[in-house]
Amino acid sequence: QLHKQADMQEEKNRIERVLGAISQPELIQKVLTFALSEEVRPQDTVSVIGGVAGGSKQGRKAAWKFVRDNWEELYNRYQGGFLISRLIKLTVDGFANDKMAAEVKVRSFN
């Protein structure tokens, strides 16, 4: 609601960044869905997803699953450029097992 009411883009960006602090699983999913909505500028989607990934261990797992599930849309949106690289870095930073590393490698080159 605050995001919709914000007059300035800077305020919208601040609101988008703090949404990642949410810890309830159902709200995390709402934030991730919101990230791809028309309410969020495409260049800001990465920050919203990255905020979720950086908010908690649970958020990181949810954000990575969201990126995997929406990979085609995200990759097409950013055409393999800087923002897709940033998105991957933000969502996988802190992964600590081989299985997750393998998932990143497969996604990065497909």
Q: pLDDT class for 67, splitting at 50, 70, 90? A: very high
Question: Would you say residue 109 lies in a domain?
Answer: no
Question: Would you say residue 7 lies in a domain?
Answer: yes
- Measured CA to CA, the distance from residue 10 to residue 61 in angstroms comes to 28
Question: Would you say residue 47 lies in a domain?
Answer: yes
Average pLDDT over residues 58-83: 90
Residue 107 has pLDDT above 60, yes or no: no
Q: Which residues contact 88 (CB under 8 A, 6 or more apart)?
A: 67, 104, 107, 108
Question: Would you say residue 11 lies in a domain?
Answer: yes
Q: How many domains does the chain have?
A: 1
Question: Would you say residue 92 lies in a domain?
Answer: yes
Question: Would you say residue 99 lies in a domain?
Answer: yes
Residues of the domain holding 71: 1-103
**13-57 pLDDT, tens per residue?**
888 888 888 888 999 999 999 999 999 999 899 999 999 998 888
pLDDT (0 to 100) of residue 29: 95
Question: Would you say residue 110 lies in a domain?
Answer: no
Q: Which region among 59-63, 69-73, 85-89, 98-102 has the lowest average model confidence (pLDDT)?
A: 98-102
Q: How far is CA 101 from CA 40, 74, 84, 91, 97, in A?
A: 29, 19, 17, 12, 6
